C-alpha cells in the first residue's frame, strides 16, 4: 500500500495547477480519493453531516451487491448448462457466467465513467462517485446476452439524460441505473423481454420463460418451489434472481446505515398487501398466487433493496418514505397482474415513484408546518 501512496504522490504535481496534465486533474483526483480518504479540510464552516464521505458510502453499496453478483454469475452458468442438459462442476458454471458478465461490466464502466469525466471537465467540477454503484447495478439488471453496443447506448443515455442534464450526481430525478434499463426495455424490446433472452446460449427446445412470464400467460405448471425462488435458481437478470443473496446485501446496507429500513420495509409491505388483496379478489389464477411468491420472484427484492432506497431519488422525510415505498410495492404488483404487456412492473413503479417523491415530501412537510402552526395558535390563544 505504501508503494501506491508513493506513486500517487509522485504523479500529483503533474496534475496540479501548472502541471503537464492539469486538464485531467479531475480524473486523477477521482483515482486518488478512491484509494485514500482525502486530506482536504473545509476551511470555513463545516458542511458535512456525517464523517463518512460519498466514496465510502458507495463502496458499502458496492460490497452489498457482491453476493448477488457472484451468485448471479454462477446462475448464468447453471441455467445455461441446465438448458443443455449438462451438469458440470461449480467452477465451470461460475466461470462461464463470469465471462458473460465481464464484458458488460467493463463496457458499462468504460462508457459511464468516460462520459462523467468529459462532463466534469466541461463543467469544471470533480468527477463524482455517483456512477460507481450505477455502473455495477446496470449489468445486474439486464439479461446476460444483451449486446454490448446496446449496453453502451443505454449507459450513455442514462448518464447524459438521467443525470448530467439535471446537474450530475445528487441532482437527478430518476434512478440512472433504472433509466438505462428502461431505455433498453423500450428501445430494444426483443433483447429485453420474452422467453428467449434470460438464459444465455439456450438450447432451442428449452423453455426459457421466467416464472413471471409464465404466470402472465396463465401457465402455472412450471412454477418453481418457494425454496428455489428464495435461493434463486431461476432464469432472469443477473442480480435479481436470488432473494437470499439480496437479503445478505440488505443486511449490510441496514447494518451500516447506508440504506433506510423504512423504504425497504414499506416496499415489501406494499407488495405483500397488494398480493393479499388480489388473493381476496381472486378472479384468475394469477391473482390467487401466494403473495410471498410476488416478493420472491422477478426483480422485486432487488428493486426494494438497491433501487428504491437510493437516497437521491427516493423520498427524504420519514413519513414520505413509508408512502413512497408502499406505493412502489403496490404499483409493481398491479402492473405485474394487470398489464399484459409487462410481465415485470418493479422498474416502472420505482421510476414512477421517483418522479413523485419530491411531491410526497412537499406535502409531508406542508402538513407538518400546518400542524405546528395549529399548536402555536393554541398556545397563543391560551396565553391571551
Q: What contacts 34, CB < 8 A, 6 or more positions away?
A: 55
Q: Which CB, 153 or 248, lies closer to another protein?
A: 153
Q: Do 124 and 167 touch, CB atoms closer than 8 A?
A: no
Distance from C-alpha of 197 to C-alpha of 154, rounded to nearest angstrom: 17
From the CB of 161, what's the least distance to another protein, in Å? 6
Q: Which CB, 143 or 275, lies closer to another protein?
A: 143
Determine if residue 168 is left, alpha or beta; phi over 0 gives left, psi from -120 to 50 gives alpha, anything else beta: left
Residue entry with cell 463518512 = 52
Q: Which CB, 165 or 288, lies closer to another protein?
A: 165
Q: Which CB, 263 or 335, lies closer to another protein?
A: 335
Distance from C-alpha of 303 to C-alpha of 306, rounded to nearest angstrom: 6
Distance from C-alpha of 278 to C-alpha of 311, rounded to nearest angstrom: 31
Q: Which CB, 301 or 335, lies closer to another protein?
A: 335
From the CB of 189, what's the least distance to another protein, in Å? 6
Q: Which CB, 99 or 187, lies closer to another protein?
A: 187
**189: which 3 cell numbers?**
424490446
From the CB of 157, what's the least distance to another protein, in Å? 9
Q: b/e per residue, 131-164, with b = 16+ CB within 10 A?
A: bbbbbbbbbbbbbbbbeeebbbbbbbbbbeebbb
Q: Which CB, 183 or 268, lies closer to another protein?
A: 183
**2: which 3 cell numbers?**
505504501
From the CB of 154, what's the least distance to another protein, in Å? 10
CA-atom Rg of the chain in angstroms:
23
Q: Which helix H or strand E contains 116, and what residues bound it?
A: helix 90-123
From the CB of 106, what's the least distance to another protein, in Å? 18
Name the residues that contact another protein, by CB under 8 A.
Answer: 147, 149-150, 153, 161, 165, 183, 186-191
From the CB of 156, what's the least distance to another protein, in Å? 12
From the CB of 351, what's the least distance to another protein, in Å? 12
Amino acid at each position: 500500500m505504501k508503494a501506491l501512496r508513493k506513486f500517487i504522490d509522485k504523479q500529483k504535481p503533474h496534475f496540479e495547477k501548472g502541471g503537464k496534465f492539469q486538464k485531467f486533474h479531475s480524473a486523477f483526483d477521482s483515482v486518488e480519493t478512491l484509494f485514500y480518504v482525502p486530506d482536504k479540510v473545509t476551511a470555513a464552516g463545516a458542511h458535512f453531516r456525517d464523517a463518512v464521505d460519498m466514496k465510502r458510502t458507495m463502496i458499502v453499496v458496492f460490497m452489498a451487491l457482491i453476493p448477488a453478483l457472484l451468485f448471479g454469475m454462477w446462475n448464468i452458468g447453471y441455467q445455461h448448462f441446465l438448458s443443455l442438459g449438462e451438469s458440470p462442476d461449480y467452477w465451470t458454471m461460475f466461470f462461464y457466467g463470469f465471462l458473460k458478465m465481464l464484458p458488460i461490466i467493463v463496457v458499462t464502466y468504460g462508457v459511464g465513467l468516460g462520459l462523467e469525466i468529459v462532463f466534469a471537465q466541461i463543467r469544471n467540477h470533480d468527477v463524482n462517485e455517483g456512477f460507481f454503484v450505477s455502473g455495477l447495478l446496470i449489468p445486474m439488471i439486464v439479461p446476460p446476452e444483451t449486446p454490448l453496443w446496446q449496453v453502451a447506448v443505454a449507459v450513455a443515455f442514462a448518464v447524459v439524460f438521467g443525470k448530467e442534464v439535471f446537474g450530475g450526481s445528487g441532482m437527478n430525478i430518476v434512478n440512472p441505473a433504472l433509466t438505462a434499463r428502461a431505455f433498453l426495455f423500450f428501445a430494444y424490446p426483443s433483447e429485453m423481454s420474452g422467453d428467449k433472452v434470460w438464459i444465455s446460449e439456450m438450447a432451442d427446445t428449452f423453455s426459457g420463460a421466467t416464472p413471471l412470464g409464465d404466470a402472465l400467460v396463465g401457465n402455472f405448471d412450471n412454477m418453481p418451489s418457494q425454496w428455489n425462488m428464495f435461493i434463486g435458481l431461476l432464469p432472469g437478470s443477473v442480480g435479481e434472481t436470488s432473494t437470499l443473496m439480496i437479503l445478505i446485501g440488505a443486511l449490510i446496507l441496514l447494518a451500516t446505515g447506508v440504506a433506510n429500513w423504512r423504504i425497504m420495509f414499506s416496499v415489501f409491505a406494499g407488495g405483500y398487501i397488494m398480493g393479499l388483496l388480489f388473493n381476496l379478489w381472486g378472479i384468475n389464477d394469477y391473482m390467487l398466487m401466494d403473495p410471498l411468491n410476488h416478493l420472491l420472484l422477478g426483480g422485486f427484492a432487488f428493486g426494494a433493496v438497491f433501487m428504491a432506497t437510493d437516497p437521491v431519488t427516493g423520498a427524504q422525510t420519514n413519513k414520505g418514505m413509508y408512502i413512497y415505498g408502499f406505493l412502489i410495492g403496490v404499483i409493481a404488483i398491479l402492473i405485474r397482474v394487470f398489464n399484459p404487456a409487462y410481465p415485470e412492473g418493479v422498474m416502472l413503479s420505482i421510476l414512477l415513484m421517483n418522479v413523485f417523491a419530491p411531491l410526497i415530501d412537499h406535502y409531508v412537510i406542508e402538513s407538518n408546518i400546518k400542524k405546528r402552526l395549529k399548536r402555536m395558535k393554541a398556545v397563543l390563544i391560551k396565553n391571551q
